[in-house]
Structure 1
Amino acid sequence: MLTVHRRGRKCVTVALAVAGLGLSAATAHAAPDADAWPGGSDVANADSSGVFGENLSGLAFSSPTAVWAVKNGPGTLYHLVPDGSNWRPDPAEGTALHYPGGKGDPDAEGVVETPEGIFTATERDNDHGDVSKPGVLRYAEPGTAEALDATAEWELTDDLPKVDSNEGLEGIAWIPDTDLTAHGFHDEHTKAAYDPASYPGHGSGLYFVGLEADGTVYAYALDQSGGGYTRVATIPSGLPAVMDLEYEPRTGHLWAACDDTCKGHTTTLDIDADGTFTAGAEYDRPSGMPDYNNEGFAIAPQSACANGNAAVLWSDDANDDDHALRSGTLPCQG
């Protein structure tokens, strides 16, 4: 095994053999050149100095003027609001996260808001940091609460590859059933076209989580009564590791983002003629952004487009230069 270290608190382990060629996964991945970032080359700090410190991880827009962010240690949920050209947490200290019943300290790595609530992808309970516990937690909106207990938990340990406690689930995205059925999404569980009625109580869409250890994306129908789940698809991201996932409704892309493990590359996944999510384009990071330990990636909604561009946010787990948030752009598409 080859261990690739990086500037943040994580490391990723990559298998040496790829397709029997005796190449490392890192070498095999590095051979093709990525396309240039399709948005603007400039990137700017998007927070004031020293606001978050280290460990800011997942990001997700909830509206053009609100962003959810999570810190993985201690597990914290932030509601970000505009502050001039920057974003600031409101309340400033964020909201402490716990498992159901008020227990533990979830290592929250990814976040997404859906009609069913706010969902986080977690690697482990920080109170037992050496034990891998990949899963998904659901929360209500925090309001003024200083702490939140999860309203439901889906522990996925038995359904995922066994991984180190620091190489588990990093990103989460949600895609509505209407979008999946409109594009003929194939259900690997039923071996037929995806039919939401096959999963009573799952809500109104599927949850896609990204595993850091091997760069694979897994799609689940989560029983919203809590605990039950069915894997619907297993999707190679085209990257050796995944740090965040972002669904872009205006294009239908499911974006997979990597940090400095793979030089800040992103891929776009789209449903092909067979109904399968397939990696298409692979992009380099913007030329104006150093190779930061970016673990969060979010794209502003279509309604926020201005002058043909949509804002993009990255969160830097290592808090390089005392900043954890940076902004750039992508072109708007209808």
Structure 2
Amino acid sequence: MSPFRRTAISTAVVAVLISSLVSAPSGAASRSAWPGGSAVSVADGKNVFGENLSGLSFESPDVLWAAKNGPGTLYRLVRDGALWKPDSVGGRTLNYRDGSGDPDAEGVVRTPDGLLVATERDGDDSDTSLAKVLRYDPKSTAKSLNATAEWDLTDDLPEVDANSGPEAISWIPDAFLTAKGFRDERTKAAYNPSSYPNHGTGLYFVGLEDNGTVYAYALNRSGGSFTRVATFPGGFPAIMDLEFDPETGLLWSTCDDTCQGRSATLSITAGKFTVAKTYDRPAQMPDYNNEGFAIAPPSTCTSGRKQTVWADDGNDGGHALRTGSLPCT
């Protein structure tokens, strides 16, 4: 979501409401200090992206995808020393499957089935909610990309403001979910991937900004059809990104300056994802409007730590990307 979402109501009222909402996230234990290093470093060049950079997702140790809204854009980022920069193609303009529109790209995840983007609305009709997940070809070098498949979740999700819809998306493999006894709320039994033909090899987890809730979906790879498998609280009144860490088996839920930049980890307990821990932002991270969060692959571990990356929607100080670290195990 763009920083322009905030309305001009009393700051005192806002402070009271936010304090009451974030003091005890649903299911969360008491807050802890950020579990990685306290240091945070700028990770992009000056004014490369501008405002509205949102979701992040690693493809490999040296490739990081970023989604931006206004207009909907995808960036394939590559390492440039200690920084990340767009590849030679630069920003890829996004369209719906028929080539029309301006998808409001908020979240992105690279999966075995392609590159999937969570969107809140069509920028060409910004007052109307249009909660769609769109798939794009990550190998394309075209400057303008049409979706190869799309799933319209609008009627399956709660009715929300056009700029408060799906903000986050992550993917978790079936092998992990079945090993942990993940429960299918539709069948009221253990999740069985064979119940969802042609859904690929995992489920997609979509975070709704408006209510901080996570919705797990089996998406038919051909596009169009889908089935909701589970619903659970993400730990905050609003969700900005979701990130599954296969090394620890934790699903990270992050919030922006609405929640003072806090994060939560969720684990499967008795078949359901529940909040395990809640963390403050790193000590050296200002309270920026961080909407994107990604964790580098385990293979990048150095001295027991791996890189984390945040995307700052506000481009504070002329920089949209910052890095920190987490323990490898």
Question: Normalising by structure 1, what TM-score?
Answer: 0.92
Q: Is residue 5 of structure 2 the alignment partner of residue 10 of structure 1?
A: yes
Counterpart residue number, 1:20 = none
Give, in whole Å, the separation in 1 of the partners of 2:168 and 2:24: 25
Counterpart residue number, 2:246 = 249
What are the Cα deviations for residues 254-312 of structure 1, in whole angstroms up to 9, with x where unaligned? 0000000000001001000x200001100000010100000000000100111110000
Q: 2:92–2:143: 8 Å Cα contact kept in structure 1?
A: yes
Counterpart residue number, 1:49 = 46
AA aligned to 1:62 is: E
* Equivalent of residue 304 in structure 1, options 300, 305, 318: 300
SS at structure 2 position matched to 1:134: strand
SS at structure 2 position matched to 1:251: coil
Counterpart residue number, 2:310 = 314
Counterpart residue number, 2:232 = 235
RMSD of the TM alignment (CA)? 1.7
**Alpha-carbon spacing, 1:28–1:143, altered in 2? closer, same or farther (3 Å):** closer
**Mapping of residues 146-161 of structure 1, within 5 Å:** 146-161=143-158
Q: 1:35–1:281: 8 Å Cα contact kept in structure 2?
A: yes
What are the Cα deviations for residues 225-248 of structure 1, in whole angstroms up to 9, with x where unaligned? 111011000010111100000000
Q: Is residue 27 of structure 2 the alignment partner of residue 30 of structure 1?
A: no
What are the Cα deviations for residues 70-101 of structure 1, in whole angstroms up to 9, with x where unaligned? 11111111000011100000136311110001
**Mapping of residues 102-251 of structure 1, within 5 Å:** 102-251=99-248
Aligned residues: percent identity? Answer: 61
SS at structure 2 position matched to 1:101: coil
> Unaligned regions of 5+ residues in structure 2, if any?
8-15
SS at structure 1 position matched to 2:178: helix
AA aligned to 2:279 is: Y
Give, in whole Å, the separation in 1 of the partners of 2:19 and 2:72: 30
**Alpha-carbon spacing, 1:234–1:47, altered in 2? closer, same or farther (3 Å):** same
AA aligned to 2:140 is: G
Give, in whole Å, the separation in 1 of the partners of 2:90 and 2:138: 15
Q: 1:95–1:142: 8 Å Cα contact kept in structure 2?
A: no
SS at structure 1 position matched to 2:3: coil
SS at structure 2 position matched to 1:221: strand
Counterpart residue number, 1:62 = 59
Give, in whole Å, the separation in 1 of the partners of 2:114 and 2:6: 31
What are the Cα deviations for residues 98-136 of structure 1, in whole angstroms up to 9, with x where unaligned? 000101010000000111110000000000000001110
Counterpart residue number, 1:17 = none
Q: 1:107–1:123: 8 Å Cα contact kept in structure 2?
A: yes
Q: 1:60–1:298: 8 Å Cα contact kept in structure 2?
A: yes
Give, in whole Å, the separation in 1 of the partners of 2:283 and 2:183: 37
